[in-house]
């Protein structure tokens, strides 16, 4: 009943037979840890090479209870930030000999990932999408599944968490625009579900208040999703006000790129008439078409940290749950006319 030509049904038993050793010895040679007579090892390796044998990963996985697969959950691949994260996470995982299985939730549910851990299909999960509403994820965490939150974090959850300091990032933006003497400060914000968004906009608000320049509510608009289009529309609305803002802070870069295009479409000069500031420093922010001042997250360090934590967690070193928060950096570009902070 087996399908015509499975393309290499060799097992370690076949190798054992061909090398005139026991199957156990083949396994020992493969894992390398255990003692095997050098000449025996050579003989076995020769046969393996010759017969082009590859061990069956699933059998190994079942026996060792480790697949080598790590799940990564992102919310929207259409936001270039996430491909950038995937690229970096992929690198880190590959270096650690792990594979990356990707779930793109489009802001719906992370249930699939949670299930996969519970079914031992992945050893652990790196989650960029967590919010306090992530129920299945929360359950997985409570069951002590190996989960690490990165980028978006959720205070109080008993798991490892890696973020960058969104509060500090937003404060540096607030300080910057006030110091530069901007008068009409606009904000394009989002639903405060994700910690990233929430921290950014609330820190921005309160810092401005501290500085004696509280936000004018009429210059604040909230988008219900994060895309070029929503940014475009929101910025269009603000620009069409009788008294439009002279600077806009956007809670992330995609929104800011949309805003930049809205300005372009209306012939509004940036930075002449309008300053524009984003958040994340995605690659495109640096392109001449946008030349966007923004706040950079240390993605590489975050990814490195997250993978390290997850590996510890998977290997069962049941340390306490770490919470890592890394510093950000204000990157000043042409969309704010080079009024650099003193430093």
The answer to whether residue 115 forms part of the interface with DNA (CB under 7 A) is: no
The answer to whether residue 125 forms part of the interface with DNA (CB under 7 A) is: no
Does 134 sit behind a cis peptide bond, omega within 30 degrees of 0 on the bond before it? no
DSSP helix/strand/coil, 232 = helix
Measuring CA to CA, how many Å separate 92 from each of 97, 124, 136, 304, 308?
A: 9, 15, 26, 6, 9
To the nearest whole angstrom, how small is the minimum distance from the Cβ of residue 89 to its own copies?
10
The entry of its own copies, DNA, none near residue 325 (CB within 5 to 8 angstroms by kind) is none
C-beta of 56 vs 87, nearer to DNA = 56
To the nearest whole angstrom, how small is the minimum distance from the Cβ of residue 316 to DNA?
13
Q: Dihedral angle at the C-alpha atoms of 297, 299, 305, 310, nearest 10 degrees?
A: 120
The answer to whether residue 144 forms part of the interface with DNA (CB under 7 A) is: no
C-beta of 198 vs 333, nearer to its own copies = 333
Report d(CA 140, CA 115) in Å as an integer.
8
C-beta of 47 vs 302, nearer to DNA = 47
Nearest to 275 by CA among 247, 311, 316, 296: 247
C-beta of 25 vs 294, nearer to DNA = 25
Measuring CA to CA, how many Å separate 243 from each of 80, 187, 203, 216, 247?
A: 32, 14, 25, 11, 12
Tokens of 251: 């809670």
The entry of its own copies, DNA, none near residue 144 (CB within 5 to 8 angstroms by kind) is its own copies
To the nearest whole angstrom, how small is the minimum distance from the Cβ of residue 122 to its own copies?
8
The entry of DNA, its own copies, none near residue 101 (CB within 5 to 8 angstroms by kind) is its own copies
DSSP helix/strand/coil, 186 = strand
The entry of its own copies, DNA, none near residue 313 (CB within 5 to 8 angstroms by kind) is none
- Cβ-count burial of 64 within 10 angstroms (0-12 exposed, 13-18 middle, 19+ buried)? exposed
Q: Enumerate binding residues for its own copies (CB under 8 A).
A: 3-5, 7-8, 54-59, 61-62, 65, 67-69, 77-78, 80, 82-84, 86-87, 90-91, 94, 99-104, 112, 115-116, 118-121, 143-145, 228, 232, 257, 260-261, 264-265, 283-284, 287-290, 316, 318
- Cα 224 to its chain centre, rounded Å, is 21
Q: Which residue in 3, 4, 5, 35 binds DNA (CB under 7 A)?
A: 35
The answer to whether residue 116 forms part of the interface with DNA (CB under 7 A) is: no
To the nearest whole angstrom, how small is the minimum distance from the Cβ of residue 55 to DNA?
4
Q: At CA 237, angle to CA 280 and CA 337, rounded to 5?
A: 50
Q: Is the separation of the CB atoms in 99 and 93 below 8 Å?
A: yes
Residues with Cβ within 8 Å of 74's Cβ and at least 6 positions away in sequence, in order, are 82, 85, 86, 102, 103, 104, 105, 128, 129
The answer to whether residue 272 forms part of the interface with DNA (CB under 7 A) is: no
Q: Which stretch binds DNA (CB under 7 A): 32-40, 136-144, 181-189, 309-317?
A: 32-40
Residues within the interface to DNA (CB under 7 A): 1, 9, 11-13, 20-28, 30-31, 33-37, 40-41, 55-56, 59-60, 62-65
């Amino acid at each position: 009943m087996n399908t015509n030509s499975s393309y290499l049904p060799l097992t370690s038993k076949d190798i054992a037979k061909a090398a005139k050793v026991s199957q156990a010895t083949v396994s020992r040679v493969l894992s390398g840890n255990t003692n095997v007579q050098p000449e025996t090892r050579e003989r076995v390796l020769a046969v393996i090479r010759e017969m082009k044998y590859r061990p069956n990963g699933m059998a190994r996985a079942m026996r060792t209870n480790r697949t080598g697969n790590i799940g990564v959950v992102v919310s929207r691949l259409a936001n270039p930030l996430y491909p950038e994260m995937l690229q970096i996470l992929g690198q880190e995982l590959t270096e650690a000999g792990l594979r990356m299985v990707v779930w793109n939730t489009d802001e719906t549910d992370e249930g699939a990932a949670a299930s996969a851990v519970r079914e031992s299909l992945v050893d652990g999960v790196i989650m960029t999408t967590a919010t306090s509403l992530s129920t299945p994820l929360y359950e997985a965490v409570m069951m002590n599944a190996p989960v690490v939150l990165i980028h978006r974090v959720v205070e109080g959850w008993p798991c490892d968490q890696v973020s960058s300091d969104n509060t500090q990032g937003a404060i540096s933006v607030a300080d910057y625009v006030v110091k530069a003497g901007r008068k009409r400060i606009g904000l394009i914000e989002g639903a405060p579900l994700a910690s990233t968004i929430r921290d950014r906009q609330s820190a921005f608000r309160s810092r401005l208040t501290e500085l004696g320049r509280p936000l004018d509510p009429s210059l604040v608009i909230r988008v219900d999703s994060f895309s070029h289009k929503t940014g475009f529309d929101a910025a269009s609305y603000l620009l069409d006000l009788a008294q439009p803002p002279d600077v806009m802070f956007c809670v992330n870069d995609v929104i800011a790129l949309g805003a930049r295009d809205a300005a372009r479409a209306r012939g509004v000069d940036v930075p002449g008439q309008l300053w524009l500031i984003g958040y994340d420093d995605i690659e495109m922010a640096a392109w001449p078409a946008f030349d966007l001042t923004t706040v950079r997250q240390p993605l590489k360090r975050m990814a490195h940290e997250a993978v390290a934590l997850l590996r510890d967690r998977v290997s069962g070193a049941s340390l306490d749950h770490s919470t890592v928060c890394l510093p950000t950096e204000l990157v000043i570009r042409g969309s704010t006319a080079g009024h650099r902070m003193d430093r």
